[in-house]
Amino acid sequence: MPLIKASCPSCGDVELTLNDIKVMVCSTDGSASYNFRCPGCRFRVAKPAEKAVVDILLSSGVTMSFWRLPLELEEEHHGEPISYDELMDFHYQIATEGWLDRLIGKKTTQDD
C-alpha cells in the first residue's frame, strides 16, 4: 500500500497509509481539510487543504467525507448574548425538580 508523508506538530514527518487519512470537505463553504491520527503520538492532526492537495489525496485513494456548518449560524439573532449570571441562574433552575414546567409557566405538583 502506498505511503503518504504528512507532518505532525509534535512528531514531525510521519508516514501514513491511505486508510489513515481522511479528507473532509465543508459543503457550505467548500473549504477542505485532511486529518489523521499520528502513528507516533496518537493525537489526531487536522490541517487545512488547498484544492491541489485534496486532488492529490483523492487520486491516491484517500476517502472523502462532507460536512456542513451548523444551521444555527444562519439564524437571525436579536438582543444581547446571554450573560454568565443568566447561565448560572439557568443552571440552578434546571437542577431542581419540575424545572421545565416552571420555565414554561405551568404549575408543578410542588407548587400546588
Q: How many residues sit close enough to Zn ion to count as binding (CB under 5 A)? A: 6
Helices and strands: H and E segment counts in the chain: 3, 6
Identify the bridge partners of residue 89 per DSSP, sorted by sequence position.
Answer: none
* Nearest distance in Å: CB 10, Zn ion: 4
- Rounded Cα distance between 65 and 63, Å, is 7
Judged by CB under 5 A, the chain residues 7 through 66 that form the site for Zn ion are: 8, 10-11, 38, 40-41
Q: Which is nearer to Zn ion, 14 or 25 (CB)?
A: 14
Contact residues for Zn ion (CB under 5 A)?
8, 10-11, 38, 40-41
